[in-house]
Amino acid sequence: MSTFQEFDCLRLSVVVLEQAREWFEDRGACGCEGTAMIACGESGARLVIPEQRATRSALGVSVEVTRRGQLQLAAALGSDELYVARIHSHPGEAFHSRADDANPVLSHVGALSIVVPYFGLGLRRGLEACAVLRFDGARWQPLPSGPMRDRWIVEEQRR
């Protein structure tokens, strides 16, 4: 697998979403944002959480993946995998901020950006409460809940 276009859609298991929710809520309990990546390959999607540094100031909150975290991300990717989505939390509403646009992390066509509101609490309602955007090569396009989003992301339940 060499490109995201080979995937019909991203199939996110409830396990991946639960792992993300637990991570973001844990960070949120400290008043911090968090970030992670979703890798996808033949065996499905999985959450990869790199080392990161969260900051709080009078200007707000932010999170940065450390140099070590960047190396962890590179080492964690399997030979048949591609990072297809970034998932990160915001302290309030879910939206793509100017900082998210300026530092997209992923920039290949079809990459997804998932923004979880309320320091991760929004994931208790699944992706319905999250902002989901898809990179078209020039801009991040919102994928509102419904058929457009369902075309690109399928939430799989426990079997």
Q: In percent, how much of the chain has pLDDT > 90?
A: 63
**Residue of 76, 88, 114 lying closest to 33 (CA atoms):** 88
Residue 88 has phi, psi (to 5 degrees) of -145, 160
Question: For 14-60, how does the pLDDT look when each residue is reduced to its tens digit (9 = 90+)?
Answer: 899 999 999 999 999 999 999 999 999 988 899 999 999 999 988 88
Give the strand pairing for 10-13 and 153-156: parallel
Question: For 107-144, how does the pLDDT look when each residue is reduced to its tens digit (9 = 90+)?
Answer: 888 899 999 999 999 999 989 899 999 998 899 999 98
Higher pLDDT, 44 or 75: 75
pLDDT at 4: 46
For the domain made up of 4-156, give the CATH fold: Cytidine Deaminase; domain 2 (3.40.140)
Spell out the residues 6+ positions from residue 56 whose beta carbon is closer than 8 angstroms to its own: 31, 32
State how far the alpha carbon of 64 is from the alpha carbons of 33, 34, 61, 67, 139, in Å. 10, 9, 10, 9, 22
Q: In percent, how much of the chain has pLDDT > 70?
A: 93
Q: Could you tell me where the DSSP H helices lie in 29-125?
A: 67-76, 98-102
Residues facing 44 on adjacent strands: 41
